[in-house]
Amino acid sequence: MRNFVALILLYHAHHASTLPSPSSSPSFRITRPGAMQAGRVGAWEMRRAADRELAAGGRLLECNALRGGGKAVKKAGERKAKGFVGVTIIAMLYFMSVALAIPSMPKLVNNILTGAGRVTSSSQMVLAALLATDGFFTFLTNNFWGTLSDRYGRKPFLTMSALGIAVGAALVAVGAHMGRVWPMFLGASIDGCTSCMFGLGQAYVSDVSHPKELAGNIGVFLGIAAGVSFMIGIPISAVLTSKVSPQAPFIASAVIGFVNSLLVFLIPESNPEDDRREVDLANANPWGALRMLHEDPLMFGVAVTYFLLWFAHTGLQVTWMNFFDAQHGWPASKSGMVLSVFGIGVSIMPKLILKFLSLPMAIELTLFIYTLAMVGLGLVRGSDIAVYTILFFACTGSTSLPSTLSLLTNQARHNERGAMQGATETIKTMCTIFAGPLMSAVFAYWISTSRMNPQPGNVFLFSSSILFLSFLNFHFTWAKHSKLDKTHSEDEPASKRAWWHLAE
């Protein structure tokens, strides 16, 4: 009875809430007004009270409203599952385009500047400038596209990102054919400005995932999108470069990108129109993203943990190939394959770990394991078995990445998840800009030919110290502010909980 009274009062206060009968709608839904003015605070409090009734003591009303709608809920669940599979495939094809381009880009630049494919200081500087151009524009625009996707849906910007890499790759191929670098810089700029696939893909996954399953689903998304795509794309790139030409991988990358942009139309939109929000374009920038992460102490603390984690992980990424060459004498084919398997492992581990541990406990444990694994990688020498064993634990520890991202995503409102993913991508881009050169400099210092005893593993010892700081930061943040966690907020409306609660 309390539910009906609260809802009737809410209807008269807002003239915007609806109470459909079980026969007319499979789900109980309350439409939240778009804006609340100062004089309507009391009505807003009644709305929050009504939601609490549904979350706590009002389950009977919700179940009555949902009775007879099992087929519709099942259909909604299948639609979300289709969307998750679809967006994962689209992201995999996107990163396959990236994987095709990575190995042959240095050779193209060297060919243009030296005419013989030989690396020189000038060709290395041009290559670094191309990568910096791409990263700079990604940093500027990531949060902008994520914020707009909260207002206009995810699919238009997924399409734009797929087209962006296609146009960028085509321009690089044109520049190589002309023997000029300016089309390459134009392509890098376009690719950087539209490089939002990763963040929006994760926003899409968070839209269609139950909070309890989000970490596992993001792990699958990351593993398949990055691991499988690079495992397939890098060998194909090598074959095309050697058998056809250095431009061939970029042509293939462009074709895949254009096809991928059409595939986006086949997946359902994950951000429904009635849940979208007005956006403040003044905050749709990197600084607005950082302000968003400062909303409460828990969100800020988890964001700092994520930054430190990615900072250390970037050290693993930028030195991986050269480290295994210097420390263990591995060829690029071996270390590249191990890296791909490592990425796939990240897609499997979160679901296994989260069967036994809560999300915060999993984050804390895997951060500690990752710290120890980095120490092991830095110290071990001469034994492939020992390296593989340590890499297994490093793979287990690196699941702290999707787990921390999941916890951070759960702190955002449903209609702000695109902006949140834009903010997390801003953090990652900052790590690429700052951590990449720093970790490279640390690695270069310890392998310098002037040193009597080179120590390439010290870069991983340095990364382990940063990971330990990340572990400590999360431990104390969660101990102090865990009550602010919004993962299972009581204020979440029934319309947002219905499809997964019925599935339980």
Instruction: Give the model confidence (pLDDT) of 365-421 as tens digits.
Output: 999 999 999 999 999 887 888 988 998 898 889 888 888 988 888 887 776 777 787
Range scoring the smallest mean pLDDT among 57-66, 250-259, 345-354, 405-414: 57-66
DSSP state of 452: S
% of the chain with per-residue pLDDT over 70: 77
Fold classification of 78-280 is Growth Hormone; Chain: A; (1.20.1250)
Q: Is the pLDDT reported for residue 269 higher than 80?
A: yes
pLDDT, tens only, 42-73? 444 444 444 444 334 333 334 444 444 556 55
Q: How far is the C-alpha of 439 from the C-alpha of 459, rounded, in Å?
A: 7
CA distance 456 to 446: 6
pLDDT band at 121 (very low <50, low <70, confident <90, very high): low
pLDDT value, residue 501: 34
SS3 state of residue 102: coil
In this prediction, residue 27 has a pLDDT band, given cuts at 50, 70 and 90, of very low
The dihedral over CA atoms of 135, 141, 147, 152, expressed in degrees to the nearest 10, equals -110
The secondary structure of residue 380, as a DSSP letter, is -
Name the band, by pLDDT with cuts 50, 70 and 90, for residue 76: low
Q: What is the mean pLDDT of the chain?
A: 76
176-197 pLDDT, tens per residue? 888 888 999 999 999 989 988 8
Q: Tell me which DSSP letter residue 268 carries.
A: P
334 against 201, higher pLDDT: 201
Looking at residue 50, its pLDDT comes to 42
- Total number of residues shown for the chain: 504
CATH number, domain 285-486: 1.20.1250.20
SS3 252: helix
Local confidence band at 74 (pLDDT 50, 70, 90 cut-offs): low
Look at residue 321 and give its three-state secondary structure. helix
Quick one: tokens of 153?
């849906």
Residue that wins the pLDDT comparison between 301 and 42? 301
pLDDT (mean) for 143-152: 84
Mean per-residue pLDDT, 99-103: 82
What's the rounded Cα separation, in Å, for the pair 310 and 475? 17
Q: From the CB of residue 80, how many other CB atoms can be counted at a distance below 10 Å?
A: 18
The pLDDT of residue 361 is: 92
- Domain span(s) for CATH 1.20.1250.20 in the chain: 78-280, 285-486
Q: Using CA atoms, how far apart are residues 173 and 112, in angstroms rounded to an integer?
A: 12
